[in-house]
Structure 1
Amino acid sequence: MRPPAFWNLEPGRFNLGRVAFSPLGWLYGSVTARRVAQPATYTAEVPVLCIGNLNAGGTGKTPTAIALIQYLQSKGLTPHVISRGYGGSAKDLTRVDERKHSAREVGDEPMLLAAFAPTWVCADRTKAARAAQEAGADLILMDDGFQNPSLHKDASIIVADAQRGFGNGSCIPAGPLREPVGAGLARGDLLLTIGNAAAQTRFDTFWGGVVKLSHARAELVPLQTGMDWTATPFLAFAGIGYPEKFFATLRAQGATVLETHALDDHQPLTTALLQRMEADAARLGAQLVTTEKDAVRLPTAYRRKVLTLPVRLEVKDWKEIDALLNRLLK
């Protein structure tokens, strides 16, 4: 289900939806506050770095995890990833094997992350952390779970989309937030905003005044694969938190995008849905294209029919992240 448009209206702007749902939003935020105040039930023997967010839906946590994995590996470290495997059916502790598992079993994000580092899926994050440290991790990256108190976090990076910021500033269902901005930022160690220069300026305009913690900036850039994106028209589809960002990135490569399909985040790519999009693409004389995260959910029969535009996180300055990692690993 796509979030309502009023979630992402500027804070301070009159918003009937926000007003109507504000009592429920206050209640949601209060419940979250009580939850995060609970003491952790397990502390790992190696540092745990949480990559989380305040907003419901995608903000760029997976590209952030990939960038951190590669950065840590370049320093000779062995990070492992733990995830609850949202969207997957696996109930027990599972080490993700992209040759053996499917996104339907372990979730699309763990499938993507497993190509870069050992990745463990379990609804109980404490079990996943134990398994990771026993398997040789010297640092655990916790994918999401900023509001989950069960596992002690040695540090947390809060990831935000610079263009959307924290939406209208209200909690679900009055806005996109899992918890109030001030309370969430107070528990974080570093804020990472993702977007181009204009988006970063917009974020500073609306939210700069509430940011009291270390702040790093990054941008998602297409991975250069040698693909000529100007050579053919496309029908683009994406089931991520912010599909429009993918469509804009594709167009920025010079691609002619004839039609777009904005799907729900993690939406199953059924054969029926793909057949309809394939027929639409044929009618337009277009090529199907999607994101990396969506591509891991494709049925085998469609993996050669759909192109992928991979992106990577380009951190503007690693200074603040380095300082955080140095504190964790000293």
Structure 2
Amino acid sequence: MWTRPLEALYRAVVRQRARRFRRDPSAVVRLSVPVVVVGNITLGGTGKTPLIVALAHAMRERGFRPGIVSRGYGGSERGPWLLGREDAPAKVGDEPALIRQSGFPVAIGRERPEAAQLLIDAGCDLILADDGLQHHRLGRDVEICVIDGERRLGNGHLLPAGPLREPASRLARVDFIVVNGDAAQPGEIAMSLQGGIAVNMADPSRSVPLAEFAGRPAHAVAGIGHPARFFASLAAQGITVDGHPFADHHAFTRDDFTFADGCPVLMTDKDAVKCRDFARENWWRVPVRAVLPESFYDAVAARVAGRS
């Protein structure tokens, strides 16, 4: 198979980079506050953004002042940059813009430690790093790896022969494995994404139960890592789904919505944040929230408190 030699090359690069930071502790930047990294070892679509938001809420309820640091993938700003409420996704990236709407401080930057320092300077006493498992330069106190319960680790091969960004053995070194879906195995934390409502994008004060779309056709738009999961969640509500998958982090324009049949358009929050400036009256976003056991949050908080 032509991808196997490239997989071997990729494996060598990953191994060499990780070994560099293990051999040279001075290359790792330790911040003055605890750092919790949330990421994955597969390509996107595991549900880590809802988990980051849920974790931030849970840590704030436990007395911390969390801030979120992200690379800002898909945005033009290289950082370090502390997000304002009006920063556009095209500048800062769709996921950071979405997380910022949840009410938490967010900073972006190609170099996470410098971006995280902006959050510390702003008063945060806990850093949550979005998609940072492979960013070894940022020292961390807790690592959380999110796995899609349906696809798990795919065929078990590294890129480009498979979906893995790191070998499966990496899971043995993380503190928590969170599984999005109903397939959590012993020692893993089960997470579900729950929704049930649709919020009108032209008039955010309007929201309806998602069940109101049951028995009707609707266009479902998803520029996320795993669009099929979103389409299936709508179909489970009895909606006749006309799915329109786009690449993850797709930069939407009006021209992507040339639907002439008048059917409603449903999309994820991550997509909606990029479409709000040209949204129409029959466009709706479908928010979800991550639900995990309180014992998981307690365990993370205990480890963080031990570092503080």
Q: TM-score, normalised by structure 2?
A: 0.88
Greater alpha carbon shift after TM alignment, 124-133 vs 155-164:
124-133
| 1:165 CA displacement | 0.1
Match status 1:270 vs 2:243 = no
Partner of 1:163: 150
| 1:241 CA displacement | 0.5
Distance 1:105 1:252 in 2: 35
Q: Out of 61, 83, 94, which is 1:74 matched to?
A: 61
Match status 1:239 vs 2:192 = no
Aligned-pair RMSD on alpha carbons? 1.8
Give the conservation status (yes or no) of the 8 Å contact 2:263–2:282.
no
Partner of 2:110: 123
| 1:272 CA displacement | 1.8
Partner of 1:4: none
Distance 2:305 2:225 in 1: 32
| 1:303 CA displacement | 5.7
Matches within 5 A, 1:307-322: 307-315=284-292, 317-322=293-298
Partner of 2:204: none
Q: Out of 191, 196, 204, which is 1:218 matched to?
A: 191
Q: Out of 238, 244, 247, which is 1:261 matched to?
A: 244
Report the CA distance shift for 1:165/1:297 in structure 2 as closer, same or farther (over 3 A): same
What secondary structure, in the 3-state scheme, does the structure 2 residue paired with 1:38 have? Answer: helix
Aligned residues: 289
Distance 1:29 1:321 in 2: 33
Report the CA distance shift for 1:141/1:263 in structure 2 as closer, same or farther (over 3 A): same
Partner of 1:30: 12
Distance 2:83 2:15 in 1: 32
Distance 1:30 1:22 in 2: 12
Partner of 2:303: 327
Q: Out of 206, 214, 218, which is 1:230 matched to?
A: 214
| 1:34 CA displacement | 1.6
Matches within 5 A, 1:115-154: 115-116=101-102, 117-154=104-141
Give the conservation status (yes or no) of the 8 Å contact 1:159–1:193.
yes
| 1:232 CA displacement | 4.2
What secondary structure, in the 3-state scheme, does the structure 2 residue paired with 1:37 have? Answer: helix
Question: How many percent identity over aligned positions?
Answer: 37
Report the CA distance shift for 1:244/1:160 in structure 2 as closer, same or farther (over 3 A): same
Partner of 1:93: 80
Distance 1:163 1:110 in 2: 26
Greater alpha carbon shift after TM alignment, 83-92 vs 224-233:
224-233
| 1:91 CA displacement | 1.8
Matches within 5 A, 1:8-27: 19-27=1-9
Distance 2:150 2:216 in 1: 29
1:235-291 deviation line (CA, Å, top 9, x unaligned): 11100000010011112223222x1111110111122222x2x33xx2xx4111110
Give the conservation status (yes or no) of the 8 Å contact 2:215–2:238.
no
Amino acid at match of 2:298: D
Match status 1:192 vs 2:178 = yes
Alignment gaps of 5+ in structure 1? 1-18, 209-213
Alignment gaps of 5+ in structure 2? 22-26, 198-206
| 1:26 CA displacement | 2.2
What secondary structure, in the 3-state scheme, does the structure 2 residue paired with 1:28 have? Answer: helix
Distance 2:62 2:280 in 1: 34
Distance 1:156 1:303 in 2: 41
Q: TM-score, normalised by structure 1?
A: 0.83
Amino acid at match of 2:214: T
